[in-house]
A and B are shown apart, each in its own frame.
Chain A
Amino acid sequence: MKRLARASFNSAINLAFFSLLGTAILAFTFFQTHDIITKTEEGEKLKLIQQLLPTELFDNDIIQDKVAVPVDALLGNDDATTAYRARLQGQPSAVILEAIAPDGYSGKIALILAIRANGEVAGVRVVSHKETPGLGDYIELPKSETKWILGFNGKSHAVWTEAEWKVKKDGGQFDYMAGATITPRAVVKAVHKALLYFEANRETLFAETVKTTQKEAKK
């Protein structure tokens, strides 16, 4: 009995040692790569914005003209995100919003949208997702022959009814690929909700200074 207890204790110590060592290595790598990863991701975001918005739509320094967007059920964000405002000769022309589709096939799909001041989508792109490669990943522009994600361009929430803001399989207007319906369904829903959010919060989004407290109300 005593020997058994001793052996277990030894094993536990051993395992604890390796866990600690592993955690230390991971923590070290994390801190070493964290800044670079954030920087790359920010850089990618900037490139995305330039893809989303035609350059003639804005003349301001869009990266500096940002506003915090609080948590909102319509956007699906867990933390406050940043919205970038595009202005043309001082007039608001578009806003770049982040939205999350929580119900992808394998987890969340992060989207970035450019919405013109008149409520039309200027462009949508997928920032990150974990959908099945070769199947659900046609929501990414470079991986889709039909350029599926461009189907949102020029659409405002008012052009169709609620029932039409769905994939064709559900009686809506959007194409989908057989075998991968859940992914586009999630994206369509998220885009629609983001447009509703824009409609409801247009003033605050474009305001010079934003009072974040007044938008706590959730739907």
Chain B
Amino acid sequence: MNLQEFKEILSNGVWKQNTGVVQLLGMCPLLAVSSSVVNGVSLGLATAVVMALSGAALSPIRSFIPNEIRIPVFILIIAVLVTVVQYLMNAYMYALYMVLGIFIPLIVTNCIVLARIEAFASKNPVASSAVDGLAMGLGLTLVLAILGGIREIIGKGTLFSGLDLALGEVAKDWVLHVIPNYKGFLLAILPPGAFIGLGCLIAGKNWLNLRKEQKAKQANFTAAQAA
């Protein structure tokens, strides 16, 4: 893997093929945990770790797995990795484990993990597969962070609430009360808020893409005219 390839995998994962707003895979945790920045980022990072690990674990053994049973084997390996991550978090990051609770095992059911293994890790060398998994996971984390931020501000008027659960008591005062004395807007915290917020994010991403395209066209046009 050279630098060019590395950059491409990275930009694919984080932006061009973003799992949250382009591929629209892995909606279940996306919508469920994005009620605050801390929850979203924590689960996003856990997913990124699992994706990087599973990519790296599957790539070297890809030629030994018979084609017909590859999916069960993939799922088996993902499930093992997720459970290992769950044990490790329970043992060494207890507070964070308490925050994420039920959503860690749900990483197994997140189809994005399986999708990247099927589409990428089963055809590419170890390093690329690991980077691909990590980049895809980071892309998901980015979406979870933005969506969590939007929902948290609109729903509770705060930002980074619960940070102390992830980082310890020191972080207790880091909560930003963006809107003081806010009464709260439950819709944003409830599942509909996730759908509406995600819809806005997808629209925003499409708008950015369109604008870029149009600018490129315009540049071409003026360049052609000048010539």
**Chain A residues whose CB sits within 8 angstroms of the CB of B102 once the complex forms:** 106, 130
Asked if A19 and B87 make an inter-chain contact with CB atoms under 8 angstroms apart, the answer reads: no
Within 8 Å by CB of B90, from A7, A25, A37, A179, lies A37
**Chain A residues whose CB sits within 8 angstroms of the CB of B36 once the complex forms:** 134
Among residues 90 to 140 in chain A, which have CB atoms less than 8 Å away from a CB atom of chain B? 106, 128-130, 132-135
**Chain B residues whose CB sits within 8 angstroms of the CB of A68 once the complex forms:** none
Asked if A133 and B91 make an inter-chain contact with CB atoms under 8 angstroms apart, the answer reads: no
Asked if B190 and A179 make an inter-chain contact with CB atoms under 8 angstroms apart, the answer reads: yes
User: How many residues on chain B are close to A (CB under 8 Å)?
Assistant: 36
| Main secondary structure on B side of the interface with A | helix
User: A44 at interface (Cβ–Cβ under 8 A)?
Assistant: yes
Among residues 90 to 115 in chain B, which have CB atoms less than 8 Å away from a CB atom of chain A? 90-92, 94, 98-103
Asked if A19 and B101 make an inter-chain contact with CB atoms under 8 angstroms apart, the answer reads: no
With A19-B76, A22-B76 in contact, do A29 and B87 touch (Cβ < 8 Å)?
A: yes
Asked if B77 and A18 make an inter-chain contact with CB atoms under 8 angstroms apart, the answer reads: yes
Can you offer 29 A-B residue contacts whose CB atoms are under 8 A?
A14-B66, A14-B69, A14-B73, A15-B69, A15-B72, A15-B73, A15-B76, A22-B76, A22-B79, A26-B83, A26-B84, A29-B83, A29-B88, A33-B87, A33-B88, A37-B91, A40-B91, A44-B94, A128-B98, A129-B101, A132-B32, A133-B35, A133-B39, A133-B99, A133-B100, A134-B39, A134-B189, A135-B189, A142-B162
When chains A and B are docked, how far (Å) is the Cα of A191 from the Cα of B29? 32
With A11-B66, A14-B73, A15-B69 in contact, do A133 and B101 touch (Cβ < 8 Å)?
A: yes
Q: Which residues of B contact A (CB under 8 A)?
A: 32-33, 35-36, 39, 64-66, 68-69, 72-73, 76-77, 79-80, 83-84, 87-88, 90-92, 94, 98-103, 162, 164-165, 186, 189-190
User: A30 at interface (Cβ–Cβ under 8 A)?
Assistant: yes
**Chain B residues whose CB sits within 8 angstroms of the CB of A147 once the complex forms:** none
Asked if A10 and B66 make an inter-chain contact with CB atoms under 8 angstroms apart, the answer reads: yes
User: A143 at interface (Cβ–Cβ under 8 A)?
Assistant: yes
- Closest-by-CB residue of B relative to A40 is B94
With A22-B77, A135-B190 in contact, do A142 and B83 touch (Cβ < 8 Å)?
A: no
When chains A and B are docked, how far (Å) is the Cα of A178 from the Cα of B183? 14
With A134-B36, A134-B39, A179-B190 in contact, do A33 and B69 touch (Cβ < 8 Å)?
A: no
**Chain A residues whose CB sits within 8 angstroms of the CB of B99 once the complex forms:** 133
Nearest-Cβ distance from residue B71 to partner chain A, whole angstroms: 11
**Chain A residues whose CB sits within 8 angstroms of the CB of B69 once the complex forms:** 11, 14-15
